[in-house]
Amino acid sequence: MKNILVINLTRFGDQLQSQAAINVLAEPDTGEQCRIGLVCLPNFASSANLLNNLHLVRPLPKDSFLSRLEKNWPEAAAALWQWREELWRDFKPDMVCNLTPTVPGRLLGRFLAGEAPLTGFGLNELGFGVNSSWAAFFQGSSRRRSVCPFNLADLFRAVAGRSRGRTGDMRLRMPSGGLSAALEVVLDEGARRAGEETRGFAAFQLGASEERRRWPAEYFAALGDGLWRHKRLLPLLLGSAEESRLAVDYAAASKSPSLDLTGRTSLEDLALLMGRVRLLVSNDTGTMHLAAGLGLPVLGIFLATAQVWDTGPCLPGCCSLEPGLACHPCSFGTECRHSLRCRWAIPPAKALELCLGFLETGRWPETKQPERGEEEQSDQEKERPRVWLSFLDEFFFMNLRSLSGHEHALRTLWFREQRLFLRQFLDRDPQKPFVYAPPQEKSLLPPQEKALLSAEISDLLAQLGLLLELGRMLRVNPLPRIRESFISAIRKLSTAFDRSPRLISLGLLWQTELQEQGDELEKAMLCIEQYHSLISSLLQRVSQ
């Protein structure tokens, strides 16, 4: 029996999305049985009980370490050492898999691994980051929004070492027992006050991590009114105690019954509620991922920095809405120049149309598409909300299909192109030359986009060729001026990647990987050759 210790120091939603990674570690392709332990933040230790295949959960008491560190650092170090010794007595790891890309996460991984292998986001003996290609892509793409075409759950799974073959099951564990007696009373009284015609519940998660990521409470109220009017579903308003003001705003705008549960549900009650409602309508939150993990149909709403392609619900058959604005999704740390216009860009009528269609037929309805081409559409037609249906593709990755006529939009087509070549490139053997196997189907990118992409790729290819030539010269004659030219060419290429709106995801990966290989010329040259092979293949594809 092998012990694998997983480190995940992320928040509630991200922790739930690591279920697939935990499952593939627990059931490796070798058939060897493994026990999985989890180190997590203390405030999310209870949510770890919703994850399957865990033998042990050990919270990291970071607050006590930090408080001791301010007073007496040797005492803090001794406490950390003692904590590790207690962990090792209960669960000595044969391998540590770190799913946290931060420096503290890497340091903790190295510390807890001891002599055991450290995978995922690693750290070598000199203190430099060590990543698989998938981990490097994960870290690089997290710096920019709108560049990642893969769901976070799939990235976690790939970082854990399984990017091919069968999928890791993403189902969560429903708590045993039933709702608390107090909450049962609240539900019964709420249904009684609403009237005998109540036919069930719909759940609304009103809050989100930021104000700009929240669909307006009055929009939720309009949706709730419609569900009550057409289906007699009583809306249950979910959220923390700090979000109770949103329930007040909802009630002020609503014309029909609802039940305010903000601040009144434990984590177990929240999970059990998912088995009592017909569907959940939610902003991009941990509650959304909880519902999807428990098999509840979800209508997710993605605003501002939230992007359905990478943080959408991990359940086939879920529906997601996002604004049809050119600026969506926006980048982290940037100030909106459009007065948070995206918050009001998804009308309640659209959400109601989708919910009613699903409740009546069990399928999310497709939206009638504009009859005119994109270049002939009005601004209103171009900015219609994007509607996505989640499904598993042939590689068992979460994927999206447009229900709103955006399947042939440039953004969608380019994400599909990236999924084709990135999956191959990230799965490559870093110690061997890379040979790209082009897909049989032709690229669906329009000619004008192919021409722009071809120009960018040609420029990158020329710079990679120069870099290879300088590297060959450096092998033969390591003069300082050749070394300086080599380093300068690397910087120029990184800048060129940065300026490419279409290949920025590959550029972020390039910067991360080359930095890891930069201590040895031969490793750096192999990395450059691999990128040269990929870029050459992409040029051939867009030139067809």
Q: What is the pLDDT of residue 229?
A: 96
pLDDT of 68: 79
Tell how far CA 85 is from the center of its chain: 33
Distance CA 89, CA 460 (A): 53
Whether residue 238 contacts residue 227, with contact meaning beta carbons closer than 8 Å, is answered with no
State the first-to-last Cα distance of the chain, in angstroms, to the nearest integer. 52
Distance CA(35)–CA(247), nearest Å, equals: 43
Q: What is the pLDDT, as a whole number, of residue 61?
A: 86
pLDDT number for residue 381: 65
Residue 412: phi, psi to the nearest 5? -65, -45
Place of tokens 């939610």: 282
pTM for this structure? 0.93
C-alpha pair distances (Å), 229 with each of 214, 224, 258, 406, 512: 24, 8, 12, 31, 54
**Best CA proximity match to 28, nearest among 157, 151, 115, 116:** 157
Q: Is 260 helix (H, G, I), strand (E, B) or coil?
A: strand
Residue 399 · residue 391 · CB < 8 Å: yes
Q: What is the pLDDT of residue 516?
A: 79
What average pLDDT values come out for the chain (544 residues) when binned by 10 residues?
94 93 83 90 92 95 77 87 95 96 92 94 82 89 79 93 71 91 93 90 96 96 98 97 96 97 95 96 97 97 94 95 91 79 95 98 86 58 89 92 93 93 93 91 91 94 96 92 93 90 86 80 93 95 86
Instruction: Give the pLDDT score at 473.
Output: 95
Instruction: Calculate the CA dihedral of residues 100, 105, 110, 112 and round it to 10 degrees.
Output: -90
Tokens of 40: 């997590």
Strand 234-238 vs strand 386-392: parallel, antiparallel, or unpaired? unpaired
Nearest-angstrom CA–CA distance, 51 and 19: 6
Specify the pLDDT at position 109: 95
- Alpha helix ranges (H) inside 93-243: 103-113, 133-141, 152-159, 181-194, 217-231
Per-residue DSSP letter, 47: G
pLDDT at position 517: 73
Residue 238 near residue 270 (C-beta atoms within 8 A): yes
Q: What is the pLDDT of residue 128?
A: 77
Buried b / exposed e over 318-352, threshold 16 CB at 10 Å, is bbbbbbbbeebbbeeeeeeeeeeebbebbebebbb
Query: CB within 8 A of 286, min separation 6: which ones?
Result: 11, 12, 13, 16, 47
Q: How far is CA 87 from the centre of its chain?
A: 30
Bridging pattern class, strands 34-40 and 398-402:
unpaired
Q: How far apart are CA 390 and CA 508, in angstroms?
A: 27
The C-alpha R_g of the chain, in whole angstroms, comes to: 25
